[in-house]
Amino acid sequence: MNFELTASMMCANYGNLEKEVRELEQGGIDSFHIDIMDGRYVPNFAMSLNDMRYIASAVKKPLDVHLMIEHPNNHINLFLKNLRKGDTVYIHPEAEYHPSTTLQSIIDAGMVPGIAINPGTSIETVMEMLRIVKKVLVMSVNPGNAGQMYLPYVGKKITKLLALKDEMDIQIFWDGACGADKIIEYAPKGVDGFVLGTTLLFGRDQSYGETLKNIRELKF
């Protein structure tokens, strides 16, 4: 069973970020998920441009940058110039007047364009965006904080997206409250990757390598 695992870096130990990213990369993480929050689009402040810049310089694996900010087009070049070609940038369509313009800037910079879909956002409202993005990040919790409860109705949204996957040529990623049960259920259905936070990856009494190995060896 092939699926990607990406580490939600807002959950990392910032007392020694260098050690965290080194051990995650050595342990076999596929990418680093960077949650940028402005305190306006979501009611929280999280990672900063400087955090993202440091991680981009310290690792070889790709970055998955999730912009939870208002009007990302106003600041998109600040992020793009500090990333590497092939890194992914997600925006929330509701946060932008013309999201396709922002997505085109991401494409022109050689990055992978993506959209993040909140629990209250319907597939129908982002249908045209699906034709120009490569990745869709499905929020299974309300965005803004780690450790929130899974919202069960999101499963029906993922089912709808999976039916469009081949037609739209997209990859689907799960973000929020991701436990082993969610991977066991949704990886076989076609979900391509999972963002790992406090539920499954961080704050455990074993190395990241052991944790990631156990996840990849789950019984399906």
Token pair recorded at residue 201? 């990856």
Token pair recorded at residue 68? 């939870």
Using DSSP, state whether 158 is helix, strand or coil. Answer: helix
What phi and psi values does residue 149 have, to the nearest 5 degrees?
-80, 145
What phi and psi values does residue 148 have, to the nearest 5 degrees?
-85, 165
CA distances from 58 to 21, 25, 51, 180 (A): 8, 10, 11, 29
DSSP of 118-146: -TT--GGGGTTGGGT-SEEEEESS-TT-S
The rounded distance, in Å, linking the Cα atoms of 181 and 42 is 27
How much of the chain is helix, strand and coil, in % rounded to 5? Answer: 40, 20, 40
Active site residues: 35, 175
The rounded distance, in Å, linking the Cα atoms of 198 and 218 is 18
